[in-house]
Amino acid sequence: MKAVCPYNGPMDKTITTPSTSYLGGLALAVGGAMLFSAKAVIAKLLYRYQIDAVTLIAFRMLFSLPVFAAVALWQMRGAAPLSTADRWRIVGLGLVGYYLSSFLDFLGLQYITVGLERLILFLTPTLVLLISATWLRQHIGRLQWLALAVSYAGIVFVFVHDLQGGGPNVLLGSALVLGSAAAYAAYLLLSGEMVKRLGALRLVAYAMCVSSAACIGQYFLLRPAAGLLQPMPVYGLSLVNGLLCTVAPVFMTMTAVQRIGAGAASQAGMIGPVSTLFLGAVILAEPVTSWQLAGTALVLAGVYLLSHANPAKPKTGN
């Protein structure tokens, strides 16, 4: 008689256990967070070729647009047509969540370290909470206030440290990146209802197509077409930025959320600031000081507390 497993299936079949699926989802979440974070390092490398943020983001979207457009077309097959109102909502979400947020982020990266940039962006969940409290009049509990205080204390640690060496540029860059985080927080709040109706994959694909059109259109409005002729390393780095640091982490994170849930995926994303510090030190030779490590630890602790205090657990990244 052939032995059987507890699930009443034959032992000679390949079994995917829940723990295996969970570990796979966790690996996708960690990998996605690290790739999202790596875009800051790629941007710093691109700036060495004397290109500006307008050109950088245009190249990023030129390489990522074909993938998102293909996904959008695939999602349209068999799906109900969008209403006029939903079309305008998607345009707004694409402009705020992926165009404005990304543009401000890359502008800020011209003035601050990748470590500080990633820490500021990691405040997105706390900004969602603050916007919810002030605009939507939602109650903030004591643990949530503690999480906010700890997170912002960490940012102050790193900001004050970097301000000593960078002066006004650090202030300008930090303000731009904070604006990026606020724009993405607004996107998360405004997209909640549409995600439930359209699905995350369809909404992201549509919104990214809108963002790509805005970024590419902005380039041709502000820069000459001849500026698209760049050294080969610019194309190579832009390809990495568009595919590995934009397309891949979007789908990796979405798959991870489906497998392990938004809460676990959000907590796995806490590896982002740590990996950015490491990559900045190894690739860009940016120093890693005790102040930066202490600030990073405080921000991670604050987001961890918030992930347990706030049922919504909004994810980070742009």
Side-chain half-sphere exposure of 160, counting CA atoms within 13 A? 10
Distance CA 59, CA 42 (A): 12
Smallest CA-to-CA distance from 79 within 255, 201, 209 is with 201
Burial class (CB in 10 A: 0-12, 13-18, 19+), 15: exposed
> Is residue 140 predicted with pLDDT exceeding 60?
yes
SS3 6: coil
Amino acid at 38: A
Query: Which tokens belong to 288?
Result: 């890693």
48 burial via Cβ count (<10 Å: 0-12, 13-18, 19+): exposed
Q: Which residues pair with 10 in a beta bridge?
A: 4
**Which tokens in the block code for residue 234?**
């610019």
State the distance between the two ends of the chain, measured CA to CA, in whole angstroms. Answer: 56
pLDDT, one tens digit per residue, over 43-101 is: 999 999 999 999 999 999 999 999 999 999 998 887 888 899 999 999 999 999 889 99
What confidence tens digit (pLDDT) does each residue in 258-301 have? 787 766 676 777 788 888 888 888 999 888 888 888 888 888 88
Highest mean pLDDT pick, 1-5, 229-233, 250-254: 229-233
Q: How confident is the model at residue 19 (pLDDT cuts 50, 70, 90)?
A: low
Q: Tell the burial category of 82 from Cβ atoms under 10 Å away from its Cβ (0-12, 13-18, 19+).
A: middle
Task: Give how far the C-alpha of residue 254 lies from the chain's centroid of Cα atoms, to the nearest Å.
Answer: 12
78 — alpha (psi -120 to 50), left (phi > 0) or beta? left
Angle at which helix 168-198 crosses helix 142-166, to 10 degrees, equals 140
Query: Residue 242 to residues 52, 133, 249, 305, 311: CA-CA distances in angstroms?
Result: 16, 35, 10, 32, 32
SS3 141: coil
